């Protein structure tokens, strides 16, 4: 697999894992304090070749993704389910711990936000789906993020993420059906 887009990752170990799995250039953010210089590089890369943001499935990774989304509109996104990013010894979570196959699969399912029409979701839908205001809401949101391949979000950010990735009502319902089936 070869990518024309530049893949944005958090650090050197992530770059090593990406290059082991696919042929791609990377930009490293060097942690969650993304510098202005790095953001300028990402902006330039987006203009010239396009960018895929591929950060760790944890809080710092979500923070980096949010900073980039705000500064460089139109970037593509790849998500790795948390269970595929856990170190074998359980000591950490990150892209660098994923298998080559998991990395290739995440990159094969890249989201481009502007490709689809917006399907507006409501807080009531989240309540009805037990994604907020329910004892199992966090675990249900995590699994929903995996199914839809949009990553984990808290309750406040889920509506924004659904709209940002233009999740359709049909995709939403299919994901909920999978959730319900798994809980039986």
Pairing verdict, β 6-9 and 51-53: parallel
**What's the pLDDT at 31?**
79
Q: 122-136 pLDDT, tens per residue?
A: 899 999 999 999 999
**What's the pLDDT at 114?**
61
**What's the pLDDT at 151?**
81
Q: 75-105 pLDDT, tens per residue?
A: 999 999 888 888 888 788 899 999 999 999 9
Pairing verdict, β 6-9 and 26-28: parallel
**What's the pLDDT at 157?**
86
Q: Is the pTM of this model over 0.85?
A: no
Residue stretches of the chain with pLDDT short of 70:
113-119
The pair of three-digit structure tokens given for residue 10, joined into one six-digit string:
């958090």
For each of the domains in the chain, give its residue range(s) and CATH number, in order of start: 6-115 (3.40.1360.10), 123-183 (no CATH)
**What's the pLDDT at 32?**
80
């Amino acid at each position: 697999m070869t990518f024309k887009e530049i893949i944005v990752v958090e650090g050197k170990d992530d770059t090593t894992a990406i290059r082991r799995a696919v042929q791609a250039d990377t930009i490293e953010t060097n942690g969650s304090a993304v510098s202005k210089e790095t953001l300028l590089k990402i902006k330039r890369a987006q203009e010239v070749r396009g960018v895929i943001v591929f950060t760790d499935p944890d809080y710092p990774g979500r923070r980096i993704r949010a900073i980039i989304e705000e500064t460089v509109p139109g970037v593509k996104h790849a998500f790795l389910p948390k269970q595929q990013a856990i170190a074998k010894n359980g000591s950490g979570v990150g892209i660098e711990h994923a298998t080559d196959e998991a990395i290739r699969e995440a990159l094969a399912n890249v989201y481009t936000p502007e490709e689809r029409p917006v399907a507006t979701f409501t807080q009531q839908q989240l309540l009805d789906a037990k994604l907020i205001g329910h004892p199992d809401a966090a675990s249900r949101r995590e699994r929903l993020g995996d199914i839809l391949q949009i990553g984990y979000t808290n309750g406040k950010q889920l509506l924004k993420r659904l709209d940002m990735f233009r999740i359709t009502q049909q995709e939403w319902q299919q994901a909920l059906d999978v959730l319900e089936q798994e809980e039986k």
